[in-house]
Chains A and B, each alone.
Chain A
């Protein structure tokens, strides 16, 4: 697949984005039945006649899911419909038990809103087309074939535990005017949405578990043109990083086609995390006709003004206002805050600070040690495997002198490797700083005796040579010593 270098693509073409985000709500029970939504259960243990689509079963709407949908709509500055309905979206697919999805069609519960994302200090306003309610599908496991993928599989195995989990689909209006920043704006938008949804408390927003999923629509038009080009819809974009990479890839791929005089095919494409490319989905020659019609098993929803007002009062502060506030509270510089936002670490830092760490130490760990792991594994910060609580604990261990920054990195390794809590890792790996003065004194003596030349240098006034002796002591102590105390002892001894 030929692609155009990104700079060349952007010189000739103006990208337009459209983002569709599916959010699984964290309600106790499913959208239309009383089965649990808990993640990770044994296959087919959270299903009933309703979510299994058995003949005769009927859906019943979860009030909490509607409430969450309205709160999401309000948080995205949408109009809340005075009257709306569910509709059936008909198509056959084995992971969808009824062979129709209960969704909303031309009557979404929330529509015509907007939100803002901050990128490199600049504010981008994103229009929200709609936010509507629907239900999730089951999950298939493909058996046989070379890769375990759907293509080439011999057969598939279906687990319907996710079937019927409430989903909110949030669709943006076309996002224009982002230029070369399009991939980053896409990522910043999904990050903002994730943080907002978490603050609303309506979803676990764990992309790696599929509770937040993004489909990215990308089209290009020649610079200066106002009509939209043909778009593609890239599915399966399952991390914040991938959102940015997938959009960037599509821009370069479509640019190559357009630059060579070709035409972009309107199609669904699939993002491949490993190879970093998109490939076409099923041939849309036999385009699905979803035959939408109002769901006759359910009655309309007409949220009262009072209810909507009541829910409005429960909203957290808007994201941009929040960023302004936390920057002031944390005392971060403009630049520091920018890095924090683009790393998607605002919520993590907030939670770490809440757990007792200072803002600067929280920022340090999330943007260095944890970010490094996230990058190496190609996952988002949250998926690295350290909780804000644990970060605060590690920082507390540093501050009370149990470990130092260098040892703290090993504690992170241990926690990420699943060796237990920070304290457990310190014990198991024997990382605590040695505060036994006798052992320390012995090591200092040995260092002094082994390096007479250095001792002479220090005595002659070259105090900076102390570093070499400190290094020797630290080596003997396997790093588990307080460097400041070691320096003190050396200077005392040499006097």
Chain B
């Protein structure tokens, strides 16, 4: 059975923008739309495991409020009544925030993240919280303490990570939209391997307040969607200055919605990054990437090749900066004020209880990174590691500056390979880290970046992602390229890529 034959198919297959239009016109109610998605979750999430928490009653109640607002003629947000999924690393009062970790099991945050607040203020309906690698550390969602999420294209494979839950929820039609967070590719890489759209805004473009920090100087929330325009609309809702986040940019949000609608790449200069391709890249990935580049050329873009020689150092630089920051950010998980407490027998000291709790509450990858970070920051090593890494960051930024002086956007495959089998790389951290080879440079430099689906790799029939990188604050350019690709590919394919998704509902 294909998805088109699935129950609720009519409602759940629609884009967010169509749902919003119909809800606003009264053709569909927000409650109906929410219920359809909750039904879909009930139907397929046992297999996919995209959600850690489904907030059904509250979702229906807030959908009903949106319907009432619309009926009363009150003004509502552009995506009013549209349900979505929230990565379980952003706080939402009344729902547990676990970050995929045992150490936070059952923790109910007493405040809303700014992104969450904006969603609610814009009348969107939060369906629940999605699975992720523990504290967003991973590229497969296998590091979740609550079990892996499965890729809707092939449930024996990973959905990417860390935001595998958000990407899988969107790909499996459990939600039309989701929020992800991207530290080294955690929005883009899952989007690539699930055939969906994922955008990492310019660092500071969306607020980190209420996003449980992995690496403060790299983390950035962004939209996950099935279409480019849907992503742009969600981007518009969540982005913008927030005084609670000092690193947030106090400037207008680039007009991403207009850009997505224009979908115009004529006379655009597109730079293909030499260093992001070749050895280690799957042939199907390179093939689809090259075809997409040719397609853009046929749409009037000028294609040039650019070199970013320091990108080869991005991965090691990232794996110094991230652990250093996370070793400090995760120190607060100490069993004193919230979360898990282990070994408090009345005799053990606070210090012992902290150590026992962190041992029991953190998974292997979290421990690895905390220890690497502790090492990189310790006296005698700081300069050689963290200090040097911050300098290499400058070199990577300069590579970007140089490249952007020649091209309006840069492009590369989003990931070197398609979705791999669950369990295949769990014991090989370095192999796992290489999944983020292409996405990491944009986190280090902080510029805007996105992944768009460009087909299935011929050798395994799995989705391939196309990465577009734009200068800081030029997020709109991502959407122009994405929109152009999407329009051209849909007409070539006779519909979206996800039409070809084998329906996970049929697996039961």
- Measuring CB to CB, which residues of chain A are less than 8 angstroms from any residue of chain B? 48-49, 52-61, 88, 90, 92, 94, 97-100, 154-156, 158, 289, 291-293, 296-299
Bound: A163/B99 CA distance, A: 25
Taking CB atoms, residues of chain A closer than 8 Å to B327 are: 90, 291
Choose one: B210, B346, B351, B354; the contact of A154 (CB below 8 Å): B346
Taking CB atoms, residues of chain A closer than 8 Å to B351 are: 92
Given contacts A54-B111, A296-B325, A299-B247, 9 further A-B contacts (CB under 8 A): A55-B99, A55-B332, A55-B338, A57-B111, A92-B351, A155-B346, A296-B215, A296-B216, A298-B247
Q: Which of A61, A88, A296 has the most CB of B within 10 A?
A: A296
Bound: A57/B329 CA distance, A: 11
17 CB < 8 A contacts A-B: A49-B109, A54-B110, A55-B91, A55-B97, A55-B104, A55-B107, A57-B209, A58-B244, A60-B246, A92-B331, A97-B336, A99-B334, A291-B378, A293-B324, A293-B386, A296-B215, A297-B247
Is A58 a contact of B97 with CB atoms below 8 Å?
no
In residues 240-298 of chain B, which contact A (Cβ within 8 Å)? 243-247
Is A94 a contact of B336 with CB atoms below 8 Å?
yes
Is A158 a contact of B247 with CB atoms below 8 Å?
no
Q: B113 within 8 Å of A by Cβ?
A: yes
Is A92 a contact of B334 with CB atoms below 8 Å?
yes
Digitize B81-114: 1 where CB-to-A-CB distance is under 8 Å, 0 elsewhere: 0000000001100000101000010010111010
Q: B217 within 8 Å of A by Cβ?
A: yes
Taking CB atoms, residues of chain B closer than 8 Å to A49 are: 109-111
Q: How far is the CB of B120 from chain A (nearest CB, A)?
A: 16
Bound: A296/B210 CA distance, A: 16
Bound: A286/B127 CA distance, A: 49
Taking CB atoms, residues of chain A closer than 8 Å to B386 are: 293
Is A54 a contact of B338 with CB atoms below 8 Å?
yes
Digitize B307-338: 1 where CB-to-A-CB distance is under 8 Å, 0 elsewhere: 00000000000000000110110011110111
Is A56 a contact of B247 with CB atoms below 8 Å?
no
Taking CB atoms, residues of chain B closer than 8 Å to A56 are: 90-91, 97, 109, 111, 113, 209-213
Taking CB atoms, residues of chain B closer than 8 Å to A54 are: 109-111, 332, 337-338
The DSSP consensus for interface residues of chain A is: loop
Bound: A299/B245 CA distance, A: 10
Taking CB atoms, residues of chain A closer than 8 Å to B354 are: 92
Is B328 a contact of A53 with CB atoms below 8 Å?
no
Q: How far is the CB of B318 from chain A (nearest CB, A)?
A: 14
Decide yes or no: A61 and B246 within 8 Å by CB, A55-B91, A56-B91 being known contacts: yes
Q: Which of B243, B332, B333, B382 has the most CB of A within 10 A?
A: B332
A90 to B, closest residue via Cβ: B328
Bound: A297/B326 CA distance, A: 12
Taking CB atoms, residues of chain B closer than 8 Å to A90 are: 327-328, 331, 377
Taking CB atoms, residues of chain A closer than 8 Å to B236 are: none
Is A58 a contact of B246 with CB atoms below 8 Å?
yes
Decide yes or no: A156 and B324 within 8 Å by CB, A54-B110, A56-B210, A99-B334 being known contacts: no
Q: How far is the CB of B390 from chain A (nearest CB, A)?
A: 8
Is A98 a contact of B325 with CB atoms below 8 Å?
no
Is A156 a contact of B211 with CB atoms below 8 Å?
no
Q: How far is the CB of B411 from chain A (nearest CB, A)?
A: 29
Q: How far is the CB of B374 from chain A (nearest CB, A)?
A: 7
Choose one: A57, A156, A292, A299; the contact of B350 (CB below 8 Å): A156
Taking CB atoms, residues of chain B closer than 8 Å to A292 are: 377, 382
Is A57 a contact of B216 with CB atoms below 8 Å?
no
A61 to B, closest residue via Cβ: B246
Bound: A70/B211 CA distance, A: 32
Choose one: B109, B346, B350; the contact of A55 (CB below 8 Å): B109
Is B350 a contact of A98 with CB atoms below 8 Å?
no
Bound: A53/B346 CA distance, A: 25
Taking CB atoms, residues of chain A closer than 8 Å to B213 are: 55-56, 58, 297
Bound: A48/B337 CA distance, A: 13
Taking CB atoms, residues of chain A closer than 8 Å to B110 are: 49, 54
Is B378 a contact of A289 with CB atoms below 8 Å?
yes
A154 to B, closest residue via Cβ: B346
In residues 441-471 of chain B, which contact A (Cβ within 8 Å)? none
Q: How far is the CB of A34 from chain B (nearest CB, A)?
A: 10
B373 to A, closest residue via Cβ: A291
Q: How far is the CB of A223 from chain B (nearest CB, A)?
A: 35
Bound: A3/B245 CA distance, A: 54
Is A158 a contact of B328 with CB atoms below 8 Å?
no
Bound: A88/B209 CA distance, A: 18
Is B337 a contact of A53 with CB atoms below 8 Å?
yes
Bound: A450/B227 CA distance, A: 113
Q: How far is the CB of B358 from chain A (nearest CB, A)?
A: 10
Is A299 a contact of B331 with CB atoms below 8 Å?
no
Taking CB atoms, residues of chain A closer than 8 Å to B216 are: 296-297
Q: B379 within 8 Å of A by Cβ?
A: yes
Q: Which of B109, B243, B246, B377 has the most CB of A within 10 A?
A: B246
Bound: A94/B349 CA distance, A: 11
Q: B208 within 8 Å of A by Cβ?
A: yes
Taking CB atoms, residues of chain A closer than 8 Å to B350 are: 94, 156
